[in-house]
C-alpha cells in the first residue's frame, strides 16, 4: 500500500514502507548514492510526516527485506516478543517518539520493552527524533554485560584499548598497550586489529595480551579482531581467546559478503563460551557494524542505510555480546559525507542499539577524505558521553597507524571523565587504583618511571 502526506497543498506519495523510511531519513551521502534519498528538504519532511502516522505494528507484518530470502528478517520476526511489545502495541511511530520522551519510559520500562521492538521500529522512530531526543532517550536505556568486569553500569563509560601496529610488531603493540593502561584505558577490551591473517601471528598476539592480563591480574579481556572462523581455529589450537569478534551487517547478503551466517556466529559463540574464561559473566562476543556496509556489498534491498544498521543490532543482540560498536565514520564519505552526517549517524546508531538492548559503543572516527576534523569528533564524543555510550575507542593520540583513520584517544577519554564525572568499569577502576595508576578520585596519579608495567615493557 502507498503512504501519503499533504503539506501546504502538495500531496506526496510513497509507494512502499521501505521507500517511506528512506525518504524520511535525515540526509546522508550513502542513501543518495543508493538513489533512494529524498529529493528535497520538503520531500524529507513529508516522509517524516507520513511515517509518524504509521502504526508500529505495521513493521511486524510488512518486512522491508523479504522474509523468504533473508535470515536476518526471519531472526527478527521469529524472535519478536509480543508480550514485551504490548505496552506500545497500539502506538504509531509518532506516538512512540512521544512515549519514549515521556516519564512512562523509565529505564526499567525500556529494558522490558527491548525484546518487543524490532530494529525497523527503532529506526523508524529515530528518523522523527532530533539529536537531543536521541540523546535523552538513549540515556535512559541501560544495557549491562560481563566477562571479567562489568560494563554498562549507570555513570560509567568503558574504553577499548586499540594498540594497532602496521606490521603487528609485538614490541610496538606492547608499547601502545602500556601507554593506554597508564592512561587508565582498556576496561572494555584490549583489542588489536591485526595487519596479518596468519594464524601463527594471530595466536602470538592472543598470547601476548593474555600474558599481560594474567601477569598483572588486570580485570579486562582481550580480542584479536579477526574473522570468526579464524577465532574458532585459534580456539581449536588452544589459543587463549577471550572474545570472539566479527563484523556484521543488517542483511543476509551483506553478512555473506563478510563470510558469515547466523549459524556461523552461533558456532563462534559456542566456541568462545566453551573456554569458560570469563570470571564474572559469559558475554563473549564482540561485534562491529557501520552504516553503509550493506550498500558497499550491493546487498541493501533498497532499504536506507540507517535502518539496515539497526538490523545489524538485531543480529548482534541474539548472541548476547559483551560489546557492539558502530565504526560510524570509518566507512567513508560516500556513506557519511561530513562531520554533521557522522555526528547524526553516531547518535542514531547509539540510540537504536541501546533501545534494542545491545551494549552499544561508538568508534567516534573519521577518515582523511571525509569533510570532518577533530572538532567534529569532540562534539560527537561529548554528545555520546552525555547519552550514556557504553564504550568508545582509545587509540594512542587518536591516530590509528594501521587502519589509517582517526578515532578517539586515551586523552579524549580522560577529557569526558573530567567533564562528566564518568567512571570506568568498577573492577578495572579498582585495579587502576591498586596499581597506583589513578588516585581515589579516578584521575591519573603522578607518573613514576619505575612503575611495574614499565619495567615489563622494557623487556618487550
Candidates 402, 425, 432, 437; binder of other proteins (CB under 8 A) is 402
Q: Is 399 in the site for other proteins (CB under 8 A)?
A: yes
E runs forming strands in 269-334: 285-289, 323-326
Interacting span for other proteins (CB under 8 A) from 49-57, 97-105, 145-153, 157-165? 157-165
Burial class (CB within 10 angstroms; exposed 0-12, middle 13-18, buried 19+) of 154: exposed
Q: Report the nearest approach of other proteins to the CB of residue 147 (Å).
A: 20
Q: Is 208 in the site for other proteins (CB under 8 A)?
A: no
Cα-based distances in Å from 109 to 94, 122, 129, 130, 146: 19, 15, 20, 22, 22
Residue 192 belongs to what H/E stretch?
Answer: strand 189-192
Q: Which residues in 116-145 contact other proteins (CB under 8 A)?
A: none
Comparison of 440 and 458: residue with beta carbon closer to other proteins: 458
Distance CA 183, CA 171 (A): 18
Q: Report the nearest approach of other proteins to the CB of residue 377 (Å).
A: 11
Candidates 5, 182, 218, 244; binder of other proteins (CB under 8 A) is 182
Helix count and strand count (H, E) for the chain: 22, 14
Comparison of 33 and 45: residue with beta carbon closer to other proteins: 33
Comparison of 131 and 229: residue with beta carbon closer to other proteins: 229
Which residues share a beta bridge with 361?
A: 325
Q: Report the nearest approach of other proteins to the CB of residue 422 (Å).
A: 12
Total interface residues for other proteins by CB under 8 A: 79
Q: Report the nearest approach of other proteins to the CB of residue 77 (Å).
A: 26
Cell 516478543 belongs to 81
Q: Which residues in 306-345 contact other proteins (CB under 8 A)?
A: 327, 330-334, 337
Q: Is 447 in the site for other proteins (CB under 8 A)?
A: yes
Cell 598470547 belongs to 207
Which residues share a beta bridge with 223?
A: 191
Q: Is 227 in the site for other proteins (CB under 8 A)?
A: yes
Q: Which residues in 338-377 contact other proteins (CB under 8 A)?
A: 367-369, 373-374
| Letter string b/e over residues 62-101, b meaning 16 or more CB atoms within 10 A of that residue's CB | ebbbeeeebbbbbbbbeebeeebbeebeebbbbbbbebbe
Candidates 32, 101, 136, 253; binder of other proteins (CB under 8 A) is 32
Interacting span for other proteins (CB under 8 A) from 95-103, 130-138, 211-219, 406-414? 406-414
Comparison of 101 and 175: residue with beta carbon closer to other proteins: 175
Candidates 79, 107, 166, 439; binder of other proteins (CB under 8 A) is 166
Q: Is 429 in the site for other proteins (CB under 8 A)?
A: no
Distance CA 367, CA 384 (A): 19
Candidates 129, 161, 173, 271; binder of other proteins (CB under 8 A) is 173
Q: Which residues in 81-110 contact other proteins (CB under 8 A)?
A: none
Phi, psi of 149 (to 5 degrees): -155, 180
Candidates 77, 153, 175, 456; binder of other proteins (CB under 8 A) is 175
Cα-based distances in Å from 427 to 16, 92, 180, 421: 50, 42, 17, 17
Q: Which residues in 239-298 contact other proteins (CB under 8 A)?
A: 245-247, 249, 258-260, 288, 290, 292-293, 296
420 dihedral zone (left: phi>0; alpha: psi -120 to 50; beta): alpha
Q: Is 29 in the site for other proteins (CB under 8 A)?
A: yes
Interacting span for other proteins (CB under 8 A) from 17-25, 67-75, 143-151, 415-423? 415-423
Comparison of 280 and 401: residue with beta carbon closer to other proteins: 401
Distance CA 398, CA 61 (A): 45
Q: Interface mask (CB under 8 A) for other proteins, residues 33-52, using x and -?
A: x-------------------
**Which residues are within 8 A (CB) of 392 and not within 5 positions of it... i.e. 6 or more apart?**
157, 159, 160, 361, 362, 363, 364, 381, 384, 385, 408, 412, 413
Q: In 10-118, which ranges are continuous DSSP H helix? A: 17-24, 29-33, 41-52, 58-61, 71-78, 82-85, 93-101, 107-113
Q: In 53-89, which ranges are continuous DSSP H helix? A: 58-61, 71-78, 82-85
Q: Give the DSSP letter of residue 86.
A: G
Q: Is 398 in the site for other proteins (CB under 8 A)?
A: yes
Q: Report the nearest approach of other proteins to the CB of residue 96 (Å).
A: 30
Amino acid at each position: 500500500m502507498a503512504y501519503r502526506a499533504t503539506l501546504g497543498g502538495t500531496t506526496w506519495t510513497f509507494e512502499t514502507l521501505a521507500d517511506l523510511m528512506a525518504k524520511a531519513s535525515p540526509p546522508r551521502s550513502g542513501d543518495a548514492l543508493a538513489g533512494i534519498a529524498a529529493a528535497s528538504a520538503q520531500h524529507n519532511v513529508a516522509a517524516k510526516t507520513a511515517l509518524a502516522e504509521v502504526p508500529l505494528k505495521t513493521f511486524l507484518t510488512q518486512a522491508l527485506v523479504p522474509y523468504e530470502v533473508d535470515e536476518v528478517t526471519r531472526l527478527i520476526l521469529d524472535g519478536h516478543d509480543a508480550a514485551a511489545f504490548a505496552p506500545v502495541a497500539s502506538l504509531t511511530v509518532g506516538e512512540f517518539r512521544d512515549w519514549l520522551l515521556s516519564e512512562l519510559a523509565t529505564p526499567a520500562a525500556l529494558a522490558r520493552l527491548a525484546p518487543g521492538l524490532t530494529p525497523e521500529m527503532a529506526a523508524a522512530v529515530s528518523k522523527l527524533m532530533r539529536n537531543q531526543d536521541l540523546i535523552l532517550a538513549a540515556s535512559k536505556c541501560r544495557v549491562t554485560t560481563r566477562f571479567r568486569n562489568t560494563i554498562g553500569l549507570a555513570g560509567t563509560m568503558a574504553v577499548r584499548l586499540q594498540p594497532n601496529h602496521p606490521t603487528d610488531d609485538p614490541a610496538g603493540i606492547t608499547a601502545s598497550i602500556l601507554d593506554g593502561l597508564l592512561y587508565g584505558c582498556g576496561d572494555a577490551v584490549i583489542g588489536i586489529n591485526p595487519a596479518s591473517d596468519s594464524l601463527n601471528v594471530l595466536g602470538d598476539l592472543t598470547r601476548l595480551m593474555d600474558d599481560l592480563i594474567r601477569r598483572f591480574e588486570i580485570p579486562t579481556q582481550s580480542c584479536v579482531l579477526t574473522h570468526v572462523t579464524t577465532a574458532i581455529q585459534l580456539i581449536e589450537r588452544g589459543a587463549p581467546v577471550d572474545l570472539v569478534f566479527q563484523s556484521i551487517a543488517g542483511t543476509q547478503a551483506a553478512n555473506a559478503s563478510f563470510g558469515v551466517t547466523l549459524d556461523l556466529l552461533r558456532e563462534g559463540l559456542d566456541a568462545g563460551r566453551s573456554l569458560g574464561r570469563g570470571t564474572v559473566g559469559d558475554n563473549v562476543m564482540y561485534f562491529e557494524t557501520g552504516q553503509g556496509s550493506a550498500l558497499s556489498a550491493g546487498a541493501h534491498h533498497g532499504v536506507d542505510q540507517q535502518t539496515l544498521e539497526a538490523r545489524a543490532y538485531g543480529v548482534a543482540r541474539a548472541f548476547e555480546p559483551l560489546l557492539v560498536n558502530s565504526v560510524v565514520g570509518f566507512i567513508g564519505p560516500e556513506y557519511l559525507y561530513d562531520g554533521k552526517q557522522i555526528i547524526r549517524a553516531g547518535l542514531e546508531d547509539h540510540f537504536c542499539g541501546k533501545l534494542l538492548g545491545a551494549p552499544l559503543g561508538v568508534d567516534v572516527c573519521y577518515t582523511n577524505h571525509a569533510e570532518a576534523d577533530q572538532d567534529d569528533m569532540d562534539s560527537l564524543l561529548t554528545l555520546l558521553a552525555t547519552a550514556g555510550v557504553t564504550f568508545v575507542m582509545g587509540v594512542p593520540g587518536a591516530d590509528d597507524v594501521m587502519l589509517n583513520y582517526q578515532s578517539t584517544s586515551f586523552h579524549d577519554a580522560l577529557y569526558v571523565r573530567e567533564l562528566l564525572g564518568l567512571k570506568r568499569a568498577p573492577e578495572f577502576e579498582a585495579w587502576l587504583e591498586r596499581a597506583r595508576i589513578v588516585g581515589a578520585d579516578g584521575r591519573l596519579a603522578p607518573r613514576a618511571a619505575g612503575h611495574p608495567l614499565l619495567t615489563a615493557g622494557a623487556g618487550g
